[in-house]
Amino acid sequence: ATAVGVSWWALRPLLARLRRAKQLRIEGLFVYPIKGCRGHSLSRVELTPLGLQGDRRYMIVSEKGTFITQRELTEMALIHPDLPTEKGIMLHAALPEAASGADAKLPAPLFVPRRGEGSEATRMVQIWDDTVPGLDQGDVAANWLSGFLGKAGLRLVLFADSAHRPTSIAYGVGG
């Protein structure tokens, strides 16, 4: 009886989360094609084995392969990518609200063709405590990002379809 009581006590937080999950209500759907950049509000989106279709499949990494966040480069919020397609992703830059006139220069929009698995572009990248395979999307995208964000060595990578990054039990239920 003591073992059952201890087991029940240990599982209480998980059971409470599951009970709350039955009461969820979705207020909005947002997809962020590039982690840390501007996203899209959608009325519907397909759920895939990797999560919401097109959500955070791309990310910006340093030359060492560590992901970059808006905490490090707040200007990432000014990058508004289109929703990705099988062919690639279009990058757009926006001006900060304080910018004006002749001083305000934006890079031209850039279409980045999708480089897939099996190419020489595969590199290991780090996101938080996980290391996963990423597919480097090339020098043109890297130069566009580095130029706009003002930091050398940035790369755009796509999470490989074969990458597996399980959900931490601390943040949800999943595998």
**Per-residue exposure over 104-125, b if at least 16 CB sit within 10 Å of its own CB, e if not:** eeeeeebebeebeeeeebbeeb
Integer Cα distance of 45 and 54 in angstroms: 9
- CA–CA separation, 118 and 52 (whole Å): 24
The per-residue pLDDT for range 31-79, each reduced to its tens digit, is: 999 999 999 999 999 998 888 999 999 999 999 999 999 999 999 999 9
- For residues 131-146, give the mean pLDDT: 95
**Cβ(150)–Cβ(75) below 8 Å:** yes
Question: How far is the C-alpha of 43 from the C-alpha of 70, rounded, in Å?
Answer: 26
Q: Which contiguous run of DSSP H or E holds residue 147?
A: helix 139-149
Query: What global pTM score does this model have?
Result: 0.79
Tens-digit pLDDT profile for residues 79-113:
999 999 999 999 999 988 766 655 568 999 999 99
pLDDT of amino acid 6:
53
- Asked whether 55 and 71 are in contact (CB, 8 A), the reply is no
Q: 161: left (phi > 0), else alpha (psi -120 to 50), else beta? A: alpha
